[in-house]
Amino acid sequence: MLGPVSISIPTLVVELVIFLMTVFMMERLLFDPIRRAWTERDSLIREGLNASSSSHEDVERAREEVKRLLSEARRTAQTEIDRATEEGNRVRDEKLAAATAEFRRLLDQARAEIKREREEVASGLRRRVVDLALLAATRVTGQSFDKPEVRELAASVVEREGLS
């Protein structure tokens, strides 16, 4: 087993000096950088929290600004929509009025043309009725009724009887 333990003072002093030098060296080389890193980390965390708090306020301000801009954009868009609707209605009314006027003009023109054609057809029919009446009279009587006076008389009878 183990024998008696003896403590040597010079060895104890040397070991104590080595221990203190090791603690001093560890303090300078290991613990000091760790403490500085912790301090820097704590500072960064505090700065981050402060920045987070201020950025949260910035975000809230930005959110309010976005809401304000969206509201303004909606109002502007609605104003533009209303203006465009009014413009569209005005243009539609103008186009409708122009189309109605054109329709009436074309209708009047068509009516005039129909009236003219009807008069031409009626005139042609009257001439044809007069020709047929004179031809029938010629065949029935055997006399010729091809004189202008007879033709005018037959035309006036056809006119008077309403065969127009």
Q: Is residue 1 in a domain?
A: no
Per-residue pLDDT of the chain in tens (164 residues, 90 and over written 9): 566 777 889 999 999 999 999 999 999 998 888 999 999 999 999 988 887 777 778 888 999 999 999 999 999 999 999 999 999 999 999 999 999 999 999 999 999 999 999 989 888 888 888 888 888 888 888 888 788 888 888 888 888 887 54
Sign of CA dihedral 91, 93, 94, 99: positive
Q: Is residue 98 in a domain?
A: yes
Q: Is residue 121 in a domain?
A: yes
Q: Is residue 52 in a domain?
A: yes
The contacts of residue 154 (CB under 8 Å, 6+ apart) are 130, 133, 134, 145
Domain range enclosing 24? 9-160
For the chain, how many structural domains are there in total? Answer: 1
Q: Measured in whole angstroms, how far is the alpha carbon of residue 123 from the centre of its chain?
A: 61
Q: Is residue 24 in a domain?
A: yes
Torsion of CA 86, 90, 92, 93, to 10 degrees: 130
| HSE of 6, CA atoms in CB hemisphere, 13 A | 3
Confidence (pLDDT) at 83: 94
pTM exceeding 0.75: no
